[in-house]
Structure 1
């Protein structure tokens, strides 16, 4: 196992070994022989480990290789932090809008876990998360209220292009980043055939794209999945609003397996450790793309 020191204690962690933009593109290039990839939505939803916290990322990596979707937002004084909601109440000890608080004020807050329990952990900055993630995992930056120019600058300043994906909802957003740095990797929302055609015509290489195709595998997006696979693009289903909600654990585990059997390459889940257990037989093969430290 790979030993990494965090919060003063040595922890055994899995890791994703991606060391360059070229390797990042290769990681998301579909070959037809790839093992499934797991993504922790907002880092994961756990008791004692709050969403969008570095501690949640570390906890997940103790159980499985994974990358993570996280949510950059701005404080009042334009510090970029990881936080999903526009308001602080649900997942922190703060009240009201995050954008009404300075970074110095945000640092005093504590994060709450998925059950509403106050934890010792605080809201991290995007810079802190990028520095922590290097050599361990990849971060997929969702689009919230941070201007793309600011996101691009932070990636540049922290030499993070090799371990970052950028969620883009349309070609316009992707083109801005691509023109800034043609090596950047995108998590592109491709939910309809028109979106696929727009990216096809965009001039952005498919090698720069991993595709989010929705919360369920349907007849319509199965056709999109097949078309994307023909372009060697890996496809992701986000199970937060769908399979993750199934109450019966056995049914939920089976549903994850069915997605992979249906051709899905990546499952983005609030419950990444559960997904790892469900897919253990598919993810224990030796692979350069999901190395167990």
Structure 2
């Protein structure tokens, strides 16, 4: 994940009541060390599709990372980019197209099969009871998102990645039990600054902490660290580098290979540093 949660002035201006809240508990997983399929498992099928969710389940990953956006008529769909240009045969911004228009598009694929841009509801139905959702909250209404999570019975099977400072308060107010995740802002450079930040902004997961002293603070405050391993050469070298940091999860473009590697090396519980 490359997004940055920009807490401009957050250490001063966050409301006292928010500071008193505790970070929400993470969804239950059968593995202590979690594997996240980036945009769903899209090795053989298109990203952010129902097929990618199903492939995530088949791979044995713990989370499908999915990107949420809103159509012109207020419907929630999966799409990483702001436009449909890269991943479909259409053109234009998601926010400028109706759901009907988006549903007529064909998602680009390697296997020659026909795929549609899925609604959020369809993705949730595919995941329910089988895999957790790591929801990259691009552009959507919090209340509508929570309503659909509850309707699908998925409110305890989701973590929400925040891309903007303004997304924090609505999620805390509307669904305080749903765990939130983001990146440490660039201006937070020391363990002391991180501890102060996490005392004011209650996140359950961070995705960009690699410094050993700052990792110690995260462990002390029971904040999970899930690091990205997606590179053109992603494989054991990248995975081992993450594992040696003693973090709790990896986001991968090759989740099945990663799961197999972890199982083979008895690392599904990670490397524990005491």
TM-score between both structures, scaled by the size of structure 2: 0.77
Could you tell me whether the CA contact under 8 Å between 1:166 and 1:186 is conserved in 2?
yes
Counterpart in the other structure of 1:121:
115
C-alpha separation in 2, matches of 1:40 and 1:259: 16
Counterpart in the other structure of 2:241:
258
What are the residue-to-residue correspondences of 1:122-271 with 2, within 5 Å? 122-169=116-163, 173-190=167-184, 192=188, 193=190, 194=193, 196-202=195-201, 204=202, 209-213=204-208, 217=210, 221-240=211-230, 244-246=231-233, 252-271=235-254
Could you tell me whether the CA contact under 8 Å between 2:84 and 2:94 is conserved in 1?
yes
Gaps of 5+ in 2: 1-23, 270-274
1:282 to 238, 263, 266: 266
What are the residue-to-residue correspondences of 1:50-129 with 2, within 5 Å? 50-113=46-109, 119-129=113-123
Could you tell me whether the CA contact under 8 Å between 2:78 and 2:117 is conserved in 1?
yes
SS of structure 2 residue aligned to 1:282:
coil
Counterpart in the other structure of 2:42:
45
For residues 252-288 of structure 1, the C-alpha deviation after alignment (integer angstroms, 9 at most, x for no partner) is: 3122022112212110112212222332223457xxx
Query: CA 1:141–1:284 in 2, change beyond 3 Å: closer, same or farther?
Result: closer
Query: CA 1:74–1:172 in 2, change beyond 3 Å: closer, same or farther?
Result: closer
For residues 57-77 of structure 1, the C-alpha deviation after alignment (integer angstroms, 9 at most, x for no partner) is: 211321223202111111121
For residues 189-243 of structure 1, the C-alpha deviation after alignment (integer angstroms, 9 at most, x for no partner) is: 23535455223124x4x6xx122126xx4xxx33222211112222111122xxx
Q: CA deviation at 1:53?
A: 0.8
TM-score between both structures, scaled by the size of structure 1: 0.72
Could you tell me whether the CA contact under 8 Å between 2:138 and 2:163 is conserved in 1?
no
Gaps of 5+ in 1: 1-22, 29-33, 286-293
SS of structure 2 residue aligned to 1:279:
helix
For residues 15-69 of structure 1, the C-alpha deviation after alignment (integer angstroms, 9 at most, x for no partner) is: xxxxxxxx963648xxxxx74210011113313x000011112113212232021
RMSD: 2.6
C-alpha separation in 1, matches of 2:141 and 2:194: 23
